[in-house]
Structure 1
């Protein structure tokens, strides 16, 4: 009964947080036929500010860390983000009825990190007197950016491949690169140089450009004063506006979820545990290589189990506008985050068993 009560309390707490509360509010407004609109230029401005804030904050945390101690865990964190997206692309985006764009946006958020879940893990360790490295907070941008960029690139590659094999006049033809894709079952090879073009286009896209610019400013400049006086105070309010917009769009596209909602529910409930175990395994490797603490291993597992509720939604909305917010925000924040938070004691117990706390 205690477990059921904990689950209900955690779900209720998630519903009350701005990310989900404003998303649901936007859906309710759209369902009631509200004429509320946020102008497109305002939306774009909000996304840029949000991603600049996320990037600057991440860059500042990396700048203030010991890069020697950070190196191995940071590489591990980036690899975790990439592996989660690659596995998710096969498991979720490959399911019948799940569009590749929706699937990759969802696994991108699951590969990225929830700062609130990480904070919950830190608080739990501190309350139990379990030590961890001071640079742990600086690991999240490595996992975050690696997962988001990988998901966006793979989604765009899939879209280009689908466009290349799109039927014209009843026959599948290659719109780029001649007829080389015939007989490949829809898996036409991409035109040479196209992958490089997609990578360059992804980096140059407004969302990723703003994120990378923020990272660079946080690392190499001293934006602390403007960050504290401008970006940090505005952040939650701007995020609520973005989620309101996404909620209204989500309602209009809810019909697309018919027939595949069960797939997203299953993924949202199981993925955090699988991803957390992947993170735990990478943390153990870092522990044996560098003496990474047991508390650090737990928090790396928590980061892997979590799904982004801050940097991910605006990044995906900006970079993959075709993706359905009902799928990726609802699955990650509505299901993934509660499961990730409830799994923290599991990772603590595993660390105690494998390493000793």
Structure 2
């Protein structure tokens, strides 16, 4: 792999602030960010990426390439939880295996945004429809995970499983709802809306991402101790699964002829793991699963791995196959 890609990613200011947050915890600094502030920036990033995606979608139009990409994204969100569930069942019970599988079938919006920042640094263009793929990959993974619990957890009682609540949580989860809603507003307002909101959506974006990744560094470092519960098997799973999923994503992207920029974003979507939407749904619907397992693997292992090594590695794959 080209080390210049790794250095380009590592020297991205938001990524450096992620390390700053991690180092603050490791050296026992009293740096602390009040909880409402990261929540605000999380909501802001969802609005910004959704709105910009909607505007770009208007520019590119909804053609065959868009439909193929979105269909492929939904397909991957269904396939990944199924195959990873059976790998996880080697060591885990059905509840924990399903919860972690759903987590890895879903996506991390912040990893996606960081990959977009990486593409900007390299001057590589991407299309707005990838945001639609991002929005549509959350719910299928949650539903597949819960179906796996239903099928393989023999002791699960029928009355404990409310499918209406499952569908509501997966489709109307706050982050999914805001992202889809912002995408729709971007489509409706188009270029005029982009000009009106430019100071808010464009100029503030990287500052908000920097602040959010600083907080994510603090949170990720605090979760490192939970990895003792995860064990070597889950740590290895959290590192190798993203690479395998990214490889599948790149193969699909090559077959359906995505552009290099879109191929990287698609690979990142396939490789990332949810640490917000899916854990919230799993806590509600699969209380038997241990949150420290599916949150710590996604947040303390897979997220930093993708931020530091994964994105440059996947870009190296794009360079190989799209050169």
**What is the TM-score with the length of structure 1 in the denominator?**
0.69
1:320 maps to 2:321: no
Of residues 106, 118, 131, the one that matches 1:108 is 106
Deviation, 1:319, is 5.5
Q: Tell me which protein shows more helix as a share of its residues.
A: 2
Deviation, 1:272, is 2.1
Cα deviation 1:210-269 (Å, max 9, x = unaligned): 212211210113422342111221111211222222222212221333412222222233
Partner of 2:219: 249
Partner of 2:172: 204
Of residues 284, 304, 314, the one that matches 2:266 is 304
Partner of 1:331: 305
1:236 maps to 2:206: yes
User: How many residues are matched?
Assistant: 293
Per the alignment, do residues 140 and 88 of structure 1 end up closer, same or farther by CA in structure 2, a change over 3 Å counting? Answer: same
Partner of 2:130: 140
Instruction: Give the 3-state SS of the residue equivalent to 2:32 in structure 1.
Output: coil
Partner of 2:55: 60
1:39 maps to 2:34: yes
* Unpaired stretches in structure 1, ≥5 consecutive residues: 127-135, 167-171, 179-189, 284-295, 350-357
The 5 A counterparts of 1:41-190 are 41-65=36-60, 67=61, 70-93=62-85, 94-95=87-88, 96=91, 100-109=98-107, 114-116=115-117, 123=124, 137-155=127-145, 157=146, 161=150, 172=155, 174=157, 176-177=158-159, 190=161
Per the alignment, do residues 272 and 173 of structure 1 end up closer, same or farther by CA in structure 2, a change over 3 Å counting? Answer: closer
Larger Rg: 1
Per the alignment, do residues 103 and 238 of structure 1 end up closer, same or farther by CA in structure 2, a change over 3 Å counting? Answer: farther
Partner of 2:285: none
* Unpaired stretches in structure 2, ≥5 consecutive residues: 281-290
Are the equivalent residues in 2 in contact too, given 1:279–1:301 (CA < 8 A)? yes
Instruction: Give the 3-state SS of the residue equivalent to 1:343 in structure 2.
Output: helix
Partner of 1:22: 17
Are the equivalent residues in 2 in contact too, given 1:29–1:248 (CA < 8 A)? yes
